[in-house]
A and B are shown apart, each in its own frame.
Chain A
Amino acid sequence: MSNHDHIASHDAHEHGEGMDKKRIWSVFFVLLALTALEFLIALGFVHHWGILQKGTLVNIIYIVLTLVKAFYIVAFFMHLKFEKSSFIVCCSIVFLFIIYFIVLMLIEGGHLHESMTHQPLFPHK
């Protein structure tokens, strides 16, 4: 129990340095601004003014903005940025498997799409 308390108090000290109220609100405004930007693109540029077309480019912009938001939530709100580097690596390196999974499913989806649109069905009815 004493060991537990020691870690907790030490932790608390470090936390105080990591996230104060000012920083919390600045992270909030970054998240709000990124979300507002997504809305501006979706409702303004695509829906209303028609400057951009729905498609790969817009999707990539959305995904990049989403990942930036995810970074801010995990790094600051979940405090991962201020943990020991070995812990950061431990919790994030496994997502290489997810990237691999996405690549696999993109290839698979592309292949199935091709087959379903271009291969004829037998027997013909």
Chain B
Amino acid sequence: MSTTVSQLDKVKEGPWSGGKSPWNLEYGKIMMWFFLVSDAFTFSAFLIYYGTQKFTQPSWIDADKVFQSIPGIAESGQPLVFVGLMTFILIMSSVTMVLAVEAGHRNAKQEVVKWMLWTILGGLCFLGCQAIEWTHLHHQGFWFGRNPATGLTDPNAIVEALQPYFTKDISYTAALQFSNLFFTITGFHGFHVSIGVLLNIIVLSMTLNNTFENRGTYLMVEKVGLYWHFVDLVWVFVFTFFYLI
């Protein structure tokens, strides 16, 4: 009997030959990443379509003239300030989420609870700001399938209704497309934030219930954290394409 093993019978030892986890990641976390990649595709498609419309239309609405109020402080003339606050709130809540994940690695239950609470609070504040923003635009006459000139027939009245939102030529179609896309995209994002807040509340309850303490790992905080950062990431892009450009 020879002791040499034939080439065929040798046990393979590469990272993908089985027996070990090549990415060194837990299954659920990998699946969360894949979900987020697919979700990023959805948001990309939305934003790219918005860009295409803006690029195609001979004239486009001036964002600085649509979003220029700070609720309760200034009715007009302050572009970007309120949305800046919203951006800050969301980035801040992303930071508290990372801090919760970091506390989870140390199995520090009380700290996880503290940071999760801040994260939920941040999410709720953001949703509140978005509700105010939506209400404001709705009062001005913007809504799904509607812009401030919808229903008017007199050309002068249409021009008068749309004039405040345009710097260049006035376009009814552009105002309508802007309105539809704004409510669809920020609505889809707001829906994600709402789901995120819900997931955060569930994870907080599980933490308080000692579920992760007994399980020995706070991995679930990380998975929800990934989702929450993704929501922040999407907002960074929405902010740039709707408010800045």
Contacts and interface: CB of A to CB of B under 8 A. Distances in A.
Given A8-B217, A35-B88, A65-B240, 9 more contacts: A5-B216, A15-B105, A39-B80, A63-B240, A66-B240, A74-B233, A87-B33, A95-B40, A109-B56
Contact of A78 (B27, B57, B87, B226): B226
Contacts of B51: 102, 105-106, 109
Residues of B contacting A: mostly: helix
Interface in A44-72: 47, 59, 62-63, 65-66, 69-70
Given A77-B94, A78-B226, A101 B44 contact: yes
Nearest to B243: A42
Interface residues of B, number: 56
Nearest to A101: B48
Given A47-B79, A116-B58, A9 B23 contact: no
A35 B91 contact: yes
Interface of A: 3-5, 7-12, 14-16, 19-21, 24-25, 28, 31-32, 35, 38-39, 42-43, 47, 59, 62-63, 65-66, 69-70, 73-74, 77-78, 83-84, 86-87, 91, 94-95, 97-98, 101-102, 105-106, 108-110, 112-113, 116-117
A69 B94 CA distance: 13
